[in-house]
A and B are shown apart, each in its own frame.
Chain A
């Protein structure tokens, strides 16, 4: 049987299974908002762990990371720094966000920030930033899915059609079962993608080099330029190393699909255990990615730009059995879909809760908002597809761009979660975010990465300086609100911590 038939068949089977999970999740829904948006705030450790890691690792981990090792060498092992930071951020900040969400019934990140800063301007600003930049992330995943289907079918299904099919499937199970469907499919996807990338890399390294150690020896001998920093093209300069470490940790954790996950944990112990252990999965997924990218640079040299992102599937098609190739490409599909569905869900939640429920139709039934959420998913699908077919770019560039936007929420979030010192004000927060956005425009487009430092970090520095200075002479949140919110954080961290 030809490889493309097996690969396509396995992906179709996988997609059918996710649809079935969506239907089953639909039958378990209670119909209230928290159930549809937040899994009823009762996600246990295993489900939450797999949904967080599956949402964090995406098409980028499967395709972009191999491409990055291929092009820039061992410098991409910097990835370990941002996966470790994700764990630490979850442990320290995620636990506080969970506690506040539980105490005050927050559903979206903007709920928390608008409540503390007592400002609808903060709510709208945060909602807009959240949606604007994570739509880019939809594009990343959709592009990755298009690549995978296009490769799996040996070009028989076009990139655009592949993207559309997988977007529709993800939207279907999300509309059917809400966050429960997302979490259930993420469990499957999280396991499948991890096993797939490890098995694929190990098999390829034995097939092509006689084993992983021999692969490393070959790279050290034939491509020593890939073995040191800053890499053959000088990409991993110190500034870029630091910038990517911050951007791909804080910048991803502060995206709404990750923040909303913190609200859904069943208890504080779960979220802290999550923080301490997620780096194990996240970091070790890049070990096989190094084998794929570096080995690919030896056996299949000459791929450039977006073509380098295809190194893993290209190697599989040439050197692995059809069944293994099919199973691994289905794993790659899982990697992209698990992030895509999470972002679709988060954007739907933000638009429904922060915009529609707040400003368009405040006093409708919970069932009404669930229906509106489903309509918004369709709209997001159309926008995501449109962006995907009209823009093509290198995956990692898009990921860091979306991370740079979400990073601008950092001063505001720290202001809520870390009592002590002078509190930021609503004017300070809004002015800081706007200044950060303007700086992003300059440091990402007009004059990219000044002085070798990532534009997102420049945005964060300007944002923080403006937020602190404006806050120094504008009205702070009321003492009652500060006491209520910071008092809750104090009780959680230094009280009983339950």
Chain B
């Protein structure tokens, strides 16, 4: 049946929306396989005495929170 046509909400419509979406997805993929199980999957080099995998993921998570807060400030 015919349905009302409306622009998709799955695609951002503003510049800030695109930036937030791409930044979140790109950074999030760094915390997903295969990156986690290959590139990040090591103890050395330790960072501030902590294992590399642990610190790298913490940095990624912090960056993702940064993206969400940036989106909030920009009104995305």
Contacts and interface: CB of A to CB of B under 8 A. Distances in A.
Interface stretch (A158-166, A220-228, A310-318, A431-439): A220-228
A329 interface: no
Interface string A244-280: 0100000000000000000000000000110111011
Interface stretch (A98-106, A149-157, A184-192, A417-425): A417-425
A279 B24 CA distance: 14
Contacts of A490: 6, 9
Given A80-B58, A227-B43, A279 B64 contact: yes
A419 B72 contact: no
A228 B3 contact: no
Contacts of B57: 77, 80
B32 A486 contact: no
B65 to A, nearest CB: 5
B58 to A, nearest CB: 7
Nearest to B34: A238
Secondary structure of the A contact surface, majority rule: helix
A65 to B, nearest CB: 15
Interface in A153-210: none
Interface stretch (A341-349, A462-470, A476-484): A476-484
Interface in B41-76: 41-43, 46, 48-51, 53-54, 57-58, 60-61, 64-65, 68-69, 71-72, 75
Interface in A405-421: 417-421
B19 to A, nearest CB: 15
Interface stretch (A81-89, A379-387, A443-451): A81-89
A483 B50 contact: no
Interface residues of A, number: 52
A315 to B, nearest CB: 20
B3 A476 contact: yes
Given A81-B32, A276-B71, A228 B61 contact: no
Interface in B8-48: 8-11, 13, 24, 28, 31-34, 36-37, 41-43, 46, 48
Contacts, number: 125
Contacts of A245: 32
Nearest to A280: B65
Nearest to A228: B41
Nearest to A90: B68
B9 A276 contact: no
Contacts of B31: 78, 80-81, 84
A85 B11 CA distance: 18
B53 A213 contact: no
Contacts of A482: 3-4
B33 A486 contact: no
Nearest to A419: B6
B69 to A, nearest CB: 5
A420 B6 contact: yes
Nearest to A417: B9
A495 B8 CA distance: 15
B3 A479 contact: yes
A279 B71 contact: no
A419 B37 contact: no
A37 interface: no
Nearest to B11: A420
16 contacts: A80-B57, A91-B68, A217-B49, A227-B53, A228-B41, A239-B33, A241-B36, A272-B72, A275-B72, A276-B71, A279-B65, A283-B65, A422-B3, A486-B4, A490-B6, A494-B13
List 8 A-B pairs, minimum CB-CB distance, nearest first: A420-B8, A238-B33, A80-B61, A276-B68, A276-B72, A418-B9, A419-B6, A213-B49
Given A81-B61, A228-B42, 16 more contacts: A74-B51, A217-B49, A220-B46, A227-B53, A228-B41, A239-B33, A242-B32, A272-B72, A276-B65, A276-B68, A276-B71, A277-B65, A419-B6, A420-B6, A421-B10, A422-B3
